[in-house]
């Protein structure tokens, strides 16, 4: 049985004194993928920023492998956790290789010099994300989709046990989205990495997630396996869309409704 890597106990997240999401309590075993879904403004990004340490928690605790995330030193946290958040890095003069190299700094000494082992990790991360051809290009002069791949390479270069991703497929085309999901599945299910992410593509969430966390009205509205979340008209209710509208656009399967030509179990 896999141990729980992430454990939230009544976690509250927000800005200043304003609570956006409250009462988050859950566990996530090592090697699993949890996806956050919900309407825009529900607090998905706020949760991720709080887990990443960018925002201080407004209550409760978050434990990573039994340790309080907010009591970890920055370097200790960076050795365990990598983050790809919306916005990312915007640096005019840095090459993509230099961006990816930043992921090795938690592993280097005080001088920050990269060893041959570090350079091998950089090369692996660039290759895994199809970014090797971008290595010598200026980061600020490539496309949004290419930047997304480079930022993911930077995160992978850290060789983390825990990965946080905010809308990682936003700027990717269909090929890029599917390739990214295959990579994430391999990293988690074969290599034991654990991931929490938010995405808008419900199809992808349904296919790749071990657990789905649904956020609505500032709380965890439902947590469960995809087959338990995507049934009974729940998704239509979560996003305040009529089942008839979803049927009109051929999306009734997201609510557990069979498409034309299919039969219900």
- Between residues 127 and 111, which one has the greater pLDDT? 127
CA dihedral 115, 121, 125, 128 (to 10 degrees): 140
Amino acid 143: pLDDT: 87
| Type and span of the H or E element at 197 | strand 194-198
pTM of the complete model: 0.89
If one counts the domains in the chain, the total is 1
Q: Which two tokens stand for residue 238?
A: 């979560």
Residue 132, domain member (yes or no): yes
CATH number at residue 154: 3.40.50.300
Please tell me the distance from the alpha carbon of residue 190 to that of residue 152, in angstroms, as a whole number. 18
Amino acid 64: pLDDT: 95
What domain range is 154 assigned to? 79-160
8-state DSSP, 230? S
Amino acid 90: pLDDT: 57
pLDDT, tens digit, 9 for 90 and up, residues 214-248: 999 999 999 999 999 999 899 999 999 998 999 99
Amino acid 262: pLDDT: 47
Residue 242, domain member (yes or no): no
Residue 89, domain member (yes or no): yes
Residue 243: helix, strand or coil by DSSP? helix
Residue 253, domain member (yes or no): no
Residue 262, domain member (yes or no): no
Residue 61, domain member (yes or no): no
Please tell me the distance from the alpha carbon of residue 180 to that of residue 214, in angstroms, as a whole number. 22
Backbone CA torsion sign across 20, 24, 28, 34: negative
Residue 95, domain member (yes or no): yes
Please tell me the distance from the alpha carbon of residue 18 to that of residue 215, in angstroms, as a whole number. 17
pLDDT, tens digit, 9 for 90 and up, residues 164-188: 999 988 888 888 889 889 989 998 9
pLDDT value at 265 more than 90:
no
pLDDT value at 7 more than 90:
yes
Amino acid 91: pLDDT: 64
Amino acid 47: pLDDT: 96
Computed over every residue of the chain, the mean pLDDT equals 90
Residue 143, domain member (yes or no): yes
pLDDT, tens digit, 9 for 90 and up, residues 34-59: 999 999 999 999 999 999 999 999 99
Amino acid 87: pLDDT: 57
């Amino acid at each position: 049985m896999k141990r729980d890597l992430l454990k939230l106990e009544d976690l509250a997240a927000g800005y200043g004194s304003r609570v956006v999401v409250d009462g988050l309590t859950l566990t996530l075993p090592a090697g699993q993928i949890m996806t956050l879904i919900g309407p825009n403004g529900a607090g998905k990004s706020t949760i991720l920023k709080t887990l990443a340490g960018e925002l201080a928690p407004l209550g409760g605790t978050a434990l990573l492998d039994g340790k309080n995330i907010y009591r970890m030193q920055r370097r200790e946290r960076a050795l365990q956790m990598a983050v790809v958040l919306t916005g990312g890095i915007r640096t005019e003069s840095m090459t993509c290789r230099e961006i990816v190299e930043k992921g090795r700094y938690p592993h280097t000494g005080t001088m920050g010099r990269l060893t041959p082992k570090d350079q091998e990790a950089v090369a692996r991360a660039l290759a895994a994300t199809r970014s090797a051809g971008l290595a010598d290009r200026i980061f600020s002069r490539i496309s949004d989709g290419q930047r997304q791949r480079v930022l993911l390479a930077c995160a992978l270069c850290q060789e983390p046990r825990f990965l946080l991703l905010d809308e990682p497929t936003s700027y990717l085309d269909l090929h890029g989205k599917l390739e990214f999901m295959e990579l994430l599945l391999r990293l988690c299910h074969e290599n034991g990495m654990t991931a929490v992410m938010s995405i808008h593509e419900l199809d992808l969430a349904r296919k790749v997630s071990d657990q789905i966390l649904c956020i609505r009205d500032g709380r965890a509205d439902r947590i469960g396996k995809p087959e338990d979340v995507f049934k009974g008209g729940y998704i239509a209710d979560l996003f305040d869309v009529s089942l008839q509208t979803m049927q009109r656009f051929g999306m009734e399967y997201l609510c557990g409704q069979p498409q034309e030509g299919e039969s219900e179990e």
